[in-house]
Amino acid sequence: MSSTSDAPTKKKAMAIITIGMAGAGKSTFVQRINSYLHSKDSPPYVLNLDPAVAFLPFEANIDIRDTVNYKEVMKQYNLGPNGGILTALNLFTTKFDQVLSLVEKRSDSIDYVILDTPGQIEIFTWSASGAIITDAVASSLPTVVAYIIDTPRASAPATFMSNMLYACSILYKTKLPFILVFNKTDVQPHDFALEWMHDFEAFQEALATHGGTRDAEGEPTYMNSLMNSMSLVLDEFYKHLKAVGVSSVTGDGIKEFFDAVEASREEYETQYVPDLERARATREKALQDAKADSMDRMMKDLEVDRAQHPEAAAQDRWDPEEENEEGEDEDVDVNIIDRSEERWPGEYIDVTRAQRHGDEGIHWPRPG
């Protein structure tokens, strides 16, 4: 059993959202952690959110492809591959409450929920539906983002930096606990990446010696200078990250990955949840303040008006007798109407029924 199921009281299932650039090895990684958890007698609940994937090396409990036919979406809406994936995700998001209730039903009997996302990383991370899905999962389960990096490719300083900038933007967007997963360590160990993260001078040195970083005059290229500066800025960001090296092929580092996931559970509870509650409380307070402010301004306007017109103000008082005479002391319950959902008085003019009478212009039928 996993360390979670050994605990005396059952912890809430933890959601792991895997994100990464195309080819980083997300699906292979999900397959690996899936089989690791099976071997620990703790099968996870797996969601595939990539509508365009042709082959999945694992069996998903919920697969977006069962709900949305991505090819059909492209045809029907006349879209290319990226538009097709985005629209398929949008369509799927409209049913995400059902997905969540299915997950919640199972969350007592499982330790982990794993989400695999589309390879076109920006479609998931920067679309409204991607954010809705991430927020919905994170507000119902402890959640961590596993950002998968192709380690051999990241050994080029420019690729390393672009991966880090991407990771940084996702961290600040989701504000969720975050694990950098350096994948494919069977091909290239990830020590260099850890060194670059802990010592920006080591990164700058690698940058200076890497080919293509100087122009024809021997001056550092614009990209080189930019990455130099970025390495100073990112120093702060690295402090918020956990990093592990894994090989999804051999299974190396998977245990360390789950240690990092468990540490993230604590971070979720001590940082993300209080932040979420603070954000809710701030929104609520802003709303109350706005209401109080507008009431305050209205009362002040009334006072000014009364000071300017004292005679009118003297007459403009509540008359209890009048109320008793007319028997109007019952509360009147007025419903707020959502105009986008319900008819509202005065709305209804059916232009399709408008009739023309010769040159007389338009004759509007009686409403109702």
Ligand X SMILES: Nc1nc2c(ncn2[C@@H]2O[C@H](COP(=O)(O)OP(=O)(O)OP(=O)(O)O)[C@@H](O)[C@H]2O)c(=O)[nH]1
* Interface residue list for ligand X (CB under 6 A): 20, 22-28, 53, 119, 183-184, 186-187, 247-249
CB of 121 to ligand X, least distance (A): 8
Pick the closest to residue 113 from 76, 154, 142 (CA basis).
142
Tokens for 263, please give them: 């540490």
The torsion defined by the Cα of 45, 51, 57 and 63, in degrees rounded to 10, comes to 30
Nearer to ligand X, 184 or 190 (CB): 184
Asked whether the beta carbons of 116 and 76 are under 8 A apart, the reply is no
The 3-state DSSP class for residue 19 equals strand
Nearest distance in Å: CB 94, ligand X: 24
Q: What are the two backbone dihedrals, phi and then psi, of residue 48, each rounded to the nearest 5 degrees?
A: -100, 120
Q: Measured from the CB atom, is 121 or 176 closer to ligand X?
A: 121
Encoded tokens for 262: 């468990």
**Nearest residue (beta carbon) to ligand X:** 119
Residue 59 CB burial class (10 angstroms; 0-12, 13-18, ≥19): exposed
To ligand X, the closest distance from the beta carbon of 58 in angstroms equals 10
In whole angstroms, the minimum distance from the beta carbon of 150 to ligand X comes to 7
Min. distance of Cβ 23 from ligand X in angstroms? 5
Q: How far is the CB of 114 from ligand X (least distance, A)?
A: 13
Residues 6+ apart with CB under 8 A from 305: 313
Shortest gap between Cβ of 28 and ligand X (angstroms)?
3
- Using the minimum distance from each CB to ligand X, give the nearer residue, 48 or 228: 48
- Nearer of residues 28 and 271 to ligand X, judged by Cβ: 28
Q: What is the CA radius of gyration of the chain?
A: 30
By beta-carbon proximity to ligand X, the closer residue of 124 and 238 is 124
Helix H or strand E segment including 72: helix 70-77
Q: Could you tell me the smallest distance in angstroms from the CB atom of residue 32 to ligand X? A: 8
Quick one: 146 or 230, whose CB is closer to ligand X?
Answer: 146
Which C-beta is closer to ligand X: that of 23 or that of 81? 23
Nearest to 148 by CA among 256, 30, 68: 30
The residue (of 53 and 206) whose beta carbon lies closer to ligand X is 53
How does DSSP assign 330-346, residue by residue? S---PPP--TTTS--TT
End-to-end CA distance of the chain, in Å? 67
Three-state secondary-structure class, residue 293: helix
Nearest to 54 by CA among 34, 35, 71: 71
Per DSSP, the chain holds a count of helices (H) and strands (E) of 17, 9
Nearer to ligand X, 228 or 247 (CB): 247
- For the bound state, the minimum distance from the C-beta of residue 161 to ligand X, rounded and expressed in Å, comes to 20
User: Which residues, at least 6 apart from 312, have a Cβ–Cβ distance to it below 8 Å?
Assistant: 306
